[in-house]
Amino acid sequence: MIAAQGGVCVICRAGPAEHVDHDHQTGKVRGVLCFSCNAALGQFKDRPDVMRRAAAYVEGNLWNPTLVAQGVYRQPS
């Protein structure tokens, strides 16, 4: 698997592939990551919704609720 990835992390493509990543529910191995990317997935609890919000935040798309009626706000999806 490491050779197929070129020896680098499949997420950042820079760090050395040294940590086997797996799905905590199924136990299935997903790939081999660097320490930082493996730790980041753990911090985000493997939740894609949280990771997408984090990416939007880093890209400068801040959370801005939309005023629907006086005192009623709609959250962005």
- Asked, for residue 25, whether it belongs to a domain, the answer is yes
Q: Is residue 68 part of a domain?
A: no
Average pLDDT, the chain: 90
| Residue 35 belongs to domain with CATH number | 3.40.1800.10
- Is residue 71 domain-resident? no
**pTM attached to this predicted model:** 0.74
pLDDT for res 37: 98
Residue 73 lies in a domain: no
Segment 8-41, tens digit of pLDDT? 999 999 999 999 999 989 999 999 999 999 999 9
Q: Kind and range of the H or E element at 53? A: helix 48-58
Structural domain that includes position 57: 1-62
**Cα 21 to Cα 34: distance, rounded to the nearest angstrom:** 10
Q: Distance between CA 14 and CA 6 in Å, rounded?
A: 10
Euclidean distance between the first and the last CA atom of the chain, given in angstroms as a whole number: 36
Instruction: Count up the domains in the chain and report the number.
Output: 1
Would you say residue 19 lies in a domain?
yes
Domain assignment present for residue 76? The answer is no
